[in-house]
Structure 1
């Protein structure tokens, strides 16, 4: 009887201590390396403590981009990745991972990654094209029904490296945009509609992207952090989206 009680207690304890989900943070760079990567990693780790999910961070693609390791995670965050960071076998494993119903989160220069991989370009939704100098501008909410959007004002004064993007590579739903009339976008701006964040169901899985996050201090902004957590939460679980 004592053994049985101990076993039941151990099972109950493990259930209580189980995290919501597991997230892989991947920040390998083969191009520009953002100084904000450590701040981004720390922010996601702190979000994990606040919202009870596990975080594993690496820049070693060989360690995690295979079927066995990726299966441990419900979402993978490409945090400030740049350039060509995966080989053909690793790409195949990641494609299978998404097709299994898992999630992707892209932050800032994740859209400046793997231009020669058409599947990835469609996963991201828009690829990076160029940016002007860092400036303050008005960030606008396009859709408040997505997780993590509820703390934004309708119009927000935000300082960022405002990425301009190539045309959409897939059909995405937009969350945030920037008003180009409120900063010096230059002659090659995107015009009347300049997207900043979006999401989509893609190839059996889920993808969320935000272009915010260039500056290290941005990761200390509670509104941005909640926005980032909303994307991670939805990518990992598929929950929280009001589809009506």
Structure 2
């Protein structure tokens, strides 16, 4: 990646369901960039996923993407980017993306299965030392769209947050329901959070800090956040 100021790509292409909160999410990342000294480029174009272009980004964000969003050249570019030490952040609908590409399933950690109606729930903070969760207490209560996944990713990732299904209706994963996690992946790092369904999420200071901490762990140089280990 380029030296100097950090730069991220916020990719928002959808070919399936499109979340109304995508513009609010882009605005939140742009605001965080202004406040914490990193550059943000938002795009839905495949031109961003070319081998000679991805190397300019310290992290690539899939913000509520859905369906098939990359062509074959784009897939190859993303694989090469990650193999070369790239960093990937998936937000909410990102887990509804590229179901027919096994590599992406490994990158995101687990694909979306279903969700109940939007409702409040309590999350357990499983790693209070991570930059994305260190600002929280032992639990975090919020209203969101609680994704269940096709598999439990715990064996392959570091789970940061899990949601208590006994506190809301419609959960299908049982007593162990990860909702945000991270891992070393290929030559780089991968982070996924299922939070971020509605516009209001991106106005929440705690959620903004969650995203900022994720970016920091992914190597994006920011101000006011502990540097990644």
Picking from 198, 201, 212, the partner of 1:218 is 201
Mapping 1:135-214, distance limit 5 Å: 135-168=119-152, 171-186=156-171, 189-214=172-197
**Structure 2 Cα separation of the partners of residues 28 and 166 of structure 1:** 22
> Offset at 1:234?
1.5
Query: Is the contact made by 1:79 and 1:107 (CA closer than 8 Å) also made in structure 2?
Result: yes
* Rounded Cα–Cα distance in structure 2 between residues aligned with 1:108 and 1:148: 15
Paired with 2:201 and 2:189, the residues of 1 have a C-alpha distance of: 25
> 1:165-197: per-residue Cα shift (whole Å, max 9, x none)?
1114671000001100110025xx110011110
> In 2, distance between residues paired with 1:77 and 1:236?
13
Match of 1:109 among 74, 93, 107: 93
Write the distance in 2 (CA, Å) between the matches of 1:94 and 1:236.
17
Alignment RMSD, CA only?
1.7
> Where does 1:32-47 land on structure 2 (aligned, <5 Å)?
32-47=17-32
Q: Distance in 2 between matches of 1:240 and 1:175?
A: 18
Tell me the TM-score normalised to structure 1 length: 0.87
CA distance in structure 1 between the aligned counterparts of 2:113 and 2:214, rounded to whole angstroms? 23
Following superposition, the deviation at residue 237 of structure 1 comes to: 4.8
Q: Does 1:85 align with 2:89?
A: no
Q: Residues of 1 paired with 2:54 and 2:228: CA distance?
A: 25
The runs of 5 or more residues in structure 1 that have no matched partner are 1-14
CA distance, structure 2, for counterparts of residue 240 and residue 172 of structure 1? 21
Q: Secondary structure of 2:68's match?
A: coil
Partners of 1:123 and 1:25 in 2: CA distance: 16
Aligned counterparts of 2:198 and 2:136: Cα–Cα separation in 1:
19
Q: Would you identify which runs of 4 or more consecutive aligned residues in structure 1 move more than 6 Å? A: none
Unaligned runs of 5+ in 2: none
Confirm or deny: 8 A CA contact 1:180 1:194 kept in the other structure.
yes
Q: Could you say which structure has the larger radius of gyration?
A: 1
Task: Give runs of aligned pairs for residues 22-37 of structure 1, distance below 5 A.
Answer: 22-37=7-22
Question: 1:201-228: per-residue Cα shift (whole Å, max 9, x none)?
Answer: 0111100000000011100000000001
Structure with greater helix share of residues: 1
Contact 1:146-1:240 at 8 Å conserved across structures: no
Figure out how many residues of one structure are paired with residues of the other and give that number: 222
Tell me if structure 2 keeps the 8 A contact 1:145–1:241: no
